[in-house]
Structure 1
């Protein structure tokens, strides 16, 4: 749903749309062949809908044959000094709502809203965004808040995954592994969204080296890919979005690495640029081709 903004051209919020308007949007999703939906709170905060409106939304989703196996929160930094506490409280509402709608996982992160320069750029990741502090107190706060959310999720039978994103506490494979290890809850895992890092116009760790570290901890996973060109003579780096099977990351290999460590969580397919929904649909089809098929018996 990253193709669909939460604020409409007329200034209204999707929170206030009618069931018929929600239906028009979800018709796009169903027409692209999807039977599962992550509403993604950049489009709609289902955790902030009144009970009757949530029921209405779920009825609309069901009318299009859509279920919700997982929910992502985006740009709601859990350790933001001004609004972090409010984001944690919202996170608890998301967990309760996820359990109510039948989801099995929720993705959280430490990255904040796009700044004005990022909003003006063709590709926002080419402009420097928010950086997390790295002092011990901030780290301890992150561990504490994640453990609180993780314990709540465990009580509900849910998994939490932490989205890797540049310049955050989980902006590297080493940082992500250290954080989930410090939280030390079996249901708190890593959202191995290494596409967020491969797209950066700066030196980054090789995708396979990252996967070797994070595969044992992989949970609900946002997958997208980029073409990455590095000029060793000048140090220049250029990237552009690409369908999963055509980009720099070999997802056949990356996914097999995670499966070898017991990965059994949902995927969220993403793509920026062009008809992102249609490319997400091709990404879905690619995943279905490369995932192991259930063994059948005669």
Structure 2
């Protein structure tokens, strides 16, 4: 197979599967910020990612805001990536909603910078969401998803602002040769399968699709749609995919809904089924392994190997 042909296909071994950075804090024990770390310190963290067997990383902005680095600092970041043998298939944002009631305009401008930074790093996708900051009540509990957080308002004008803003970002991404994946998250306009699909259709831009992070939903301590139904509805729209899984215990007669993080292959969502459906619908984007609790990096590495086992045996054309 020629190099050109190789670039046109994906195999189990070459499909991009990134490590998320949610297990790394952005504030260090001494109170300093990862944003201000030396390139050598960034490289040390990246070395852990590489040692876990990853060749891709999503520099999620809950760890480091690459979009807010000066160009010389971003060049140093790129060199650290190269030294570690890592590439960036996508950049995800967290809790920087373009319809935040206080900082929405600021976050819209930030998202535009993320698109430019992603192009500079050679990424193919940027991931945006409409979820807000953790509430004080969420910060006080072990698992933040067990307490209700901010909700997108039932306001047509705000909904329209969200749609228009994502379409604006989609146009920018398209000019840079990128896709946008919108992260599904509870109590947002893209917080259910039906709502997410409708939102993408309302945005109506070819560069804008979904990150069907169904783990965000099946972990909720409340009734949720069956995972298989959500898969069926959302897989035609996948551009990038945060994958994680949870055990879920439900006793409707007692109004009991409990969850706990679990490896991909042992949790509620059957990713063998979901991945097969996504690929059948044309998904050729990257995965990003996330896990909360314990050694999240090692669990993510095990999840990466599980994904490789269930990806198609035969090469898939891009």
Output the TM-score relative to the length of structure 2. 0.92
> Given the alignment of the two structures, is residue 231 of structure 1 paired with residue 217 of structure 2, yes or no?
no
* Matched residue, 1:57: 77
From 87, 108, 117, the equivalent of 1:67 is 87
The runs of 4+ residues in structure 1 deviating greater than 6 Å are: none
Alignment of 1:32-47 (within 5 A): 32-47=52-67
Equivalent pair of 1:134/1:169 in contact (CA under 8 Å): no
> Given the alignment of the two structures, is residue 125 of structure 1 paired with residue 145 of structure 2, yes or no?
yes
How far is the alpha carbon of 1:179 from its aligned partner?
Answer: 0.5
* Matched residue, 1:9: 29
How far is the alpha carbon of 1:293 from its aligned partner?
Answer: 2.8
How far is the alpha carbon of 1:232 from its aligned partner?
Answer: 2.8
**Distance across 2 between alignment mates of 1:207 and 1:219:** 19
Cα deviation per residue 1:220-248 (whole Å; 9 max; x = unaligned)? 11000000011132120110000000000
Stretches of structure 1 that go unaligned for 5 or more consecutive residues are none
From 276, 291, 298, the equivalent of 1:278 is 298
Output the TM-score relative to the length of structure 1. 0.98
Cα deviation per residue 1:263-292 (whole Å; 9 max; x = unaligned)? 111111000000000000001111111011
Equivalent pair of 1:78/1:87 in contact (CA under 8 Å): yes
Cα deviation per residue 1:45-99 (whole Å; 9 max; x = unaligned)? 0010000000101111110101111110011011112101111100000001111
* Matched residue, 1:262: 282
Please give the secondary structure, in 2, of the residue aligned with 1:244: coil
**Distance across 2 between alignment mates of 1:126 and 1:259:** 32
How far is the alpha carbon of 1:116 from its aligned partner?
Answer: 1.6
* Matched residue, 1:162: 182
Please give the secondary structure, in 1, of the residue aligned with 2:254: coil
* Matched residue, 1:95: 115
Equivalent pair of 1:243/1:279 in contact (CA under 8 Å): yes
Distance 1:113 1:295, change over 3 A: closer
**Distance across 2 between alignment mates of 1:4 and 1:119:** 16
Equivalent pair of 1:222/1:267 in contact (CA under 8 Å): yes
Stretches of structure 2 that go unaligned for 5 or more consecutive residues are 1-20
How far is the alpha carbon of 1:134 from its aligned partner?
Answer: 2.0
How far is the alpha carbon of 1:37 from its aligned partner?
Answer: 0.7
Please give the secondary structure, in 1, of the residue aligned with 2:259: strand
* Matched residue, 1:172: 192
**Distance across 1 between alignment mates of 2:38 and 2:280:** 45
* Matched residue, 1:241: 261
**Distance across 1 between alignment mates of 2:283 and 2:253:** 39
From 75, 85, 99, the equivalent of 1:79 is 99
What RMSD over aligned residues (CA atoms) do the two structures have, in Å? 1.0
How far is the alpha carbon of 1:218 from its aligned partner?
Answer: 1.1
* Matched residue, 2:232: 212
* Matched residue, 2:163: 143
> Whose RCO is larger (CA < 8 A, sep 6+)?
2
